[in-house]
Amino acid sequence: MTYPYVIAGTGAAGLSLAFYLAQTSLRNQKILLIDKNLKNQNDRTWCFWQKKTSPFEEIIFRKWQKIAFFSRFLEKTLDIAPYHYKMIRGIDFYLYTQNFIQKNSDFEFLQAEIYQMQENSDEVILQTSQGEIKARYVFNGLWQLPQNFERKKGYFYWFQHFKGWFLKTQETKFEADKMYYMDFRVPQKEREVRFGYVLPFSSQEALVEFTVFSNHLLGSQEYLTELQNYTENILGLQNYEISETEFGVIPMFDEPFLSQKSQRIIPIGTRAGAAKASTGFAFDRIQRQTHFIAENLAKSGKAILPKEKPLYHLYDSALLNVIEHNRMSSERVFSILFAKHPIQRIFRFLDEESNWYEDVQIMNAMPWKPFLQAIFENWKNRS
């Protein structure tokens, strides 16, 4: 048989797409979801800010309305209402969406590794560890960090990479209602962004992370040394027990090199450029992207990705250029941003929902020269 649609990869994007499709008129179609993993492990946690209620509200693990920013230039606690900063555990998301899809649709799940996809004028043929599978269209959410890839001149291939500990302290050490969003008190390096990040679950439990944005990864010992330094010397935690660790690498590429769309294979999720180049945030963007695809597919039968917003690409690339070429330190850039603007405006800007007046306000508060130089250089290198 030929499936009308196959969803390749049941990570955040594949499961989200199926979750939204299961709420449309396509719920009775034979849609096949394939992943090499069963997705029954807590392999990550997702955080995102949000004003409205999430479709996953009942599995939100924690949410905060106070966030703190620290640098040599600024220390500030911000009330982010009407937003919440929310956290979902991977395992809760996988189980919740799998259960919802099984109850509300005729979609099928298959555990198999996909080796190859070949497209002809009528269909896509997938070679998998469970044999050959045919589909009219494939939504491709397969993602693994590429080891080697071609880097085009004038583009930035950065990563958000981080190591974290879920830890418990003996004494009361955290304010449970306040998370640390960016803590620049960690030792800084030129041409990178380095900060601490704390998500408290109670006065004695938290996820503490050391995060870097840069164009290269670190050796494993350096993450450990920096995380330990942040935990013990900056947060002042001495008696603590680690229950789980988290390590992650998220692409912050401003060239969406994997997202090239073919007629019948449609990229989704990270593969479709969902991770924002200037922040690495992807989860909420994946929700918006897959919800859009599902709605349009049900209405018109067409698989369409949401339109790109070129102006925000320009801003993201300018920021990466400014930091990579050391035109300004990242600590200064983010301190200006947090000092001069209400957090709600920053969230709208990062969500690519700000209006032109807000964009001008944000640009206007930054020193013009480094950003204009960056925009000009990016344009020159790409033309």
Binding site for ligand FAD (CB under 6 A): 9-14, 34-37, 39, 44, 46-48, 113-114, 141-144, 246, 248, 250, 269-270, 275, 281-283, 286
For residues 205 and 172, give the distance between their C-alpha atoms in angstroms, rounded to a whole number: 9
Over the range 302-327, which residues count as b (16 or more CB within 10 Å of their CB) and which as e?
A: ebebeeeeeebbebbbbbbbbbbeeb
| DSSP of 254-290 | SS-TT----SSEEE-GGGGT-S-TTT---HHHHHHHH
Cα dist from 182 to 150, 217, 313, whole Å? 32, 19, 23
The residue among 12 and 179 lying less far from ligand FAD, judged by its C-beta, is 12
Q: Minimum distance from CB of 269 to ligand FAD (Å)?
A: 3
Residues 6+ apart with CB under 8 A from 367: 328
The strand pair at 2-8 and 31-35 is best described as parallel
Tokens at residue 358, please?
A: 């807000």
For residues 58 and 45, give the distance between their C-alpha atoms in angstroms, rounded to a whole number: 15
In one-letter notation, the amino acid at residue 139 is: F
For 360, the 3-state DSSP assignment is: helix
Q: Which residue has the tokens 């395992």?
A: 91
Cα dist from 131 to 125, 126, 136, 317, whole Å? 10, 8, 17, 42
Task: With beta carbons less than 8 A apart as the criterion, state whether 181 and 67 touch.
Answer: yes
